[in-house]
Amino acid sequence: MPVTPLVRVQSEDFDLQAESLRLTQGRRDVGALVTFTGLCRDEAGTLAALELEHYPGMAEAELTRLAEEAVARWPLTGLTVIHRFGKIVPGHNIVLVIAASSHRRAAFEAADFLMDYLKTRAPFWKKEHPAEGGSGAWVEAKTADDKDAARWT
C-alpha cells in the first residue's frame, strides 16, 4: 500500500534533520533517503529578499496531488514536501522534498520528479525585492522548467 505523503505549506523555516529522522527513526526498511533543499540565492548581490505568494488551499492540494502521484509511481517508504511562503532572504530555505525508499534509484527519481513538477504546477509566485529598494519584478517562469517536467511523461 502506498504511503501517505506529508505535505506542509508554511511561512516558518523547516528542520532538515528533524524531517529526515521522521522518515527513518525506528525503522529497518529504509535503505535510501534523498533530500532536496531549495534555497533563495543571489549571486549578483542585487536581491534583498524574495516574496513568495501562494494560493492557500490550492497550494496544499496541488502538492498533495503531486506527492500522491510520486508514491504511486515509486516504491517509497516515506515522502515529505514542505514549501514556504512569505519573505525569504538569500541563503535561506524555500522548499524541502524528502523521499525515502528501500532502494536509492526510487528515492532519487521521486525527489527529482517532485521538484520538476512542483516548479511548474504548485501555485507559488516569486517577487524580487531589490537590494537598492523600490518595487521589484515578478520572477518569470522558465521554459527549462517545463522541459524538466516533460521528462517524466
Partner 1 sequence: MNIRYFAWVRERVGVEEETIELPASIATVADLITHLKTLDDNHAAAFEEEDAIRVALDQMHVETDAALGDAREVAFFPPMTGG
CA dist 21 and 87 (Å) reads 27
Angle subtended by helix axes 58-73 and 104-121, to nearest 10 = 150
Evaluated on CA atoms 36, 105, 18, 115, the torsion sign reads positive
**Minimum CB distance to partner 1 smaller for 77 or for 119:** 119
35 near a copy of itself, rule: CB under 8 A: yes
Residue 64 touches which of a copy of itself, partner 1, none (CB < 5 to 8 A by kind)? none
Q: Which stretch binds partner 1 (CB under 8 A): 14-22, 39-47, 48-56, 68-76?
A: 48-56
User: Residue 9: what are its φ and ψ, rounded to 5°?
Assistant: -120, 120
Grid coordinates in use for 78?
Answer: 516515506
- For residue 143, the minimal CB distance to partner 1 (Å) is 10
Q: Minimal distance in Å, beta carbon 145 to partner 1?
A: 8
With binding defined as CB under 8 A, does residue 114 bind a copy of itself? no
